[in-house]
Chains A and B, each alone.
Chain A
Amino acid sequence: MSAASPAIRFDEVTLGYGRRPAVHHLDGAIPAGSLIAVVGPNGAGKSTLLKGIVGTLKPLEGHIRCNASPGVAYLPQAAEIDRSFPLSVYDLVAMGLWSRSGLFGGISRHDRTKIEQALAAVGLTGFERRPISTLSGGQMQRALFARLLLQDAPVILLDEPFTAIDAKTTADLLDLVRRWHDEARTVVAVLHDLDMVKRTFPQTLLIAREPVAWGETGEVLSPENLLKARRMVEAYDPHADICHRSVA
Chain B
Amino acid sequence: MLDLFHTPFSEFEFMRRALVGVIAIALGGGPVGVFLMLRRMSLTGDAMAHAILPGAAVGYLVAGLSLPAMTIGGLFAGVIVAVAAGLVSRFTALKEDASLAAFYLLSLALGVTIVSLRGSNVDLLHVLFGTVLALDDNTLLLLASISTITVLALAVLYRPLVLECVDPIFLRSVSNAGTPTHLIFLGLVVMNLVGGFHALGTLLAVGMMMLPAAASRFWTSDVTMMMLVSVGIGIVSGLSGLLLSFHAELPAGPAIILSAGAIYVISLVLGREGGLLWLAWPGRHLEA
Contact = CB atoms under 8 A, between A and B. Distances in A.
Contacts of A95: 163, 167, 170
Interface in A85-111: 85-87, 92, 95, 98-99, 102-104
Contact of B166 (A56, A71, A72, A85): A85
Interface stretch (A38-46, A73-81, A233-241): A73-81
Contacts of A92: 166-167
Interface in B144-165: 156-157, 159-160, 162-163, 165
B156 A76 contact: no
A123 interface: no
Nearest to B172: A56
B269 interface: no
Given A76-B169, A81-B167, A82-B165, A103 B177 contact: yes
A87 B172 contact: no
B222 A71 contact: no
A54 interface: yes
Contacts of A85: 38, 162, 165-166
B80 to A, nearest CB: 27
A104 B173 CA distance: 18
Interface residues of B, number: 22
Interface string A110-136: 000000000000000000000110000
A87 B173 contact: no
Nearest to A101: B159
- Main SS at interface, chain B: helix
Contact of A103 (B38, B156, B168, B172): B156
Contacts of B166: 81-82, 85, 87, 92, 132
A80 B163 contact: no
Interface string B4-30: 000000000000000000000000000
A27 B173 CA distance: 23
B159 A103 contact: yes
A49 B38 CA distance: 31
Nearest to B160: A103
Contacts of A103: 156-157, 159-160, 177
Interface string B166-183: 111110111101000000
Interface string A141-174: 0000001000100000000000000000000000
Contacts of B156: 103-104
A82 B173 CA distance: 17
A92 to B, nearest CB: 7
Nearest to B156: A103
Interface string A178-202: 0000000000000000000000000
A98 B175 contact: yes
B174 A99 contact: yes
A86 B173 contact: no
Contacts of A79: 167, 169-170
B160 A54 contact: no
A80 B169 contact: yes
B228 interface: no
Q: Which 6 A-B pairs have the closest CB atoms?
A: A86-B221, A74-B173, A85-B166, A98-B174, A81-B167, A54-B173
20 contacts: A54-B173, A71-B174, A74-B170, A74-B173, A79-B169, A79-B170, A80-B167, A80-B168, A82-B167, A85-B162, A86-B38, A86-B223, A86-B226, A98-B159, A102-B175, A103-B156, A103-B160, A104-B159, A131-B221, A151-B174
Given A80-B167, A86-B226, A99-B174, 16 more contacts: A54-B172, A56-B169, A56-B172, A74-B173, A79-B167, A82-B166, A85-B38, A86-B221, A86-B222, A86-B223, A87-B166, A92-B166, A95-B170, A98-B175, A102-B175, A103-B177
